[in-house]
C-alpha cells in the first residue's frame, strides 16, 4: 500500500517541508533509504545521513535545525522516535491483518468458530475446539480436540496446540512452538514405564511465546502461564509449572517440573531452574545461572551456578579469578616452611 506525505503527517500530527504529494510504500533505516521509503532521524550520530539519504520521506523532531539543503520531504513531529514507532505498529497491523478461511484448511464440523478468523493453508482445527473472534491461524497450524483459543490471538505458521489446551485473548505464539506435549515422567523402578500425562496447559490473556518453545502439559491439573507472560525463543517449561503474571524469559530458559515462579520476574538467557521450587515475585536471574533452591525473598538478584546473591557472587568471583596466583603463593610459603623445618632438624 502507498501513502502520501500528507496522509502520514495527518496520522502523526506532523508538519510537512517539501513535496506533500510524494508517496511511500515501505520503511527503511535512514542510512539505507531508497526512493519510495520513509525513515526517521532521532539519534544525532546519524545526522550526516539526512543530507544524502535517498528515502522519499524522513521524520524529524520539530526542534531539529538543518545545516544544509535536503532533497527528501521532511515531516516534523514532537518525537521522531515515537512517531516512527507508531508507524511501525500501524504497518505491522496492516501486514498481519489476514482474514478468510482457506479451502485447503480443515475445520472439524463440531468446532465452534468465531467471527472474522483467518485460517491458512493446511491448518487443522480438531473436534470440539473453540476458536474466538479475530483469531489468526497461519498455515500448517495444528489445533487439537477440545482446545480453546481466545479472541484476537495469533498462531503463526507451524504452531502445534495439543488437545485440551486453553489459550486466552490477545496472545501471540510464534512459529514452531509446541504447547501441550507430554511431560517427561517415567518410573525407573518399574521398567522405565511412561507415566500418562492427562492434564493440560492453560495460557492466560496477553501472553507472547517466541519461536520453537515447548510448554508441556501437566501430569494432573494444569501447566499455567499467567497473564502478560513474555517468552523469547527456545524456552522449555516442564509439566505442572506455574509462571506468574508479567514474568519475562530470555532465550534458552528451562524450568523443571512443578516449580512455581512468581510475578514480575526477569530471567536472562540460558537460565535453568530445577523442579519443585518456589521463586518469589520480582526475582531477577542473570544469564547462564542455575537455580537449585527456592528463592523466598522478593526482589532478589541471583547469579552463578549454583546461583546465589549477585553482589556476593561478584565479590567471590574476584577471588576466583585470583585463585591461581593465590595457589602459587601458598605453594611458595609451604616450600619455604619445609626449608625452615629442615634447617631446624
* Residues designated catalytic: 239
Q: Say if residues 115 and 96 touch (Cβ distance below 8 Å).
A: no
Q: Which of 228, 232, 294 is nearest to 264 (CA)?
A: 228
Amino acid at each position: 500500500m502507498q501513502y502520501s506525505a500528507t496522509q502520514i503527517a495527518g496520522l502523526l500530527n506532523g508538519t510537512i517541508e517539501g513535496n506533500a504529494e510524494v508517496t511511500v510504500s515501505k520503511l527503511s533505516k535512514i542510512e539505507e533509504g531508497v526512493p519510495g521509503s520513509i525513515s526517521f532521524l532521532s539519534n544525532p550520530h546519524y545526522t550526516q545521513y539526512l543530507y544524502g539519504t535517498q528515502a522519499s520521506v524522513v521524520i524529524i523532531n520539530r526542534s531539529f535545525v538543518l545545516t544544509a539543503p535536503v532533497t527528501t520531504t521532511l515531516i516534523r513531529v514532537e518525537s521522531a522516535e515515537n512517531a516512527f514507532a507508531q508507524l511501525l505498529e500501524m504497518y505491522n497491523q496492516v501486514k498481519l491483518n489476514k482474514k478468510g478461511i482457506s479451502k485447503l484448511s480443515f475445520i472439524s464440523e463440531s468446532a465452534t468458530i468465531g467471527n472474522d478468523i483467518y485460517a491458512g493453508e493446511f491448518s487443522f482445527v480438531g473436534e470440539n475446539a473453540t476458536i474466538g473472534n479475530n483469531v489468526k491461524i497461519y498455515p500448517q497450524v495444528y489445533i487439537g480436540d477440545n482446545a480453546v483459543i481466545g479472541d484476537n490471538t495469533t498462531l503463526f505458521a507451524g504452531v502445534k496446540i495439543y488437545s485440551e489446551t486453553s489459550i486466552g485473548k490477545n496472545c501471540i505464539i510464534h512459529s514452531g512452538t509446541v504447547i501441550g506435549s507430554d511431560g517427561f515422567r517415567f518410573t525407573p523402578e518399574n521398567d522405565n514405564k511412561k507415566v500418562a500425562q492427562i492434564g493440560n496447559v492453560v495460557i492466560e490473556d496477553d501472553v507472547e511465546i517466541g519461536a520453537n518453545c515447548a510448554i508441556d502439559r501437566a501430569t494432573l491439573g494444569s501447566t499455567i502461564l499467567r497473564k502478560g507472560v513474555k517468552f523469547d525463543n527456545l524456552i522449555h517449561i516442564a509439566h505442572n509449572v506455574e509462571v506468574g503474571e508479567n514474568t519475562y524469559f530470555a532465550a534458552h530458559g528451562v524450568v523443571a517440573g512443578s516449580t512455581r515462579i512468581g510475578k514480575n520476574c526477569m530471567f536472562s538467557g540460558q537460565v535453568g531452574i530445577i523442579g519443585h521450587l518456589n521463586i518469589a515475585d520480582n526475582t531477577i536471574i542473570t544469564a547462564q545461572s542455575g537455580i537449585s533452591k527456592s528463592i523466598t525473598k522478593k526482589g532478589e538478584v541471583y547469579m552463578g551456578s549454583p546461583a546465589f546473591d549477585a553482589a556476593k557472587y561478584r565479590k567471590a568471583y574476584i577471588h576466583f579469578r585470583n585463585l591461581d596466583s593465590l595457589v602459587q603463593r601458598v605453594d611458595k610459603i609451604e616450600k619455604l616452611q619445609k626449608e625452615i623445618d629442615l634447617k631446624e632438624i
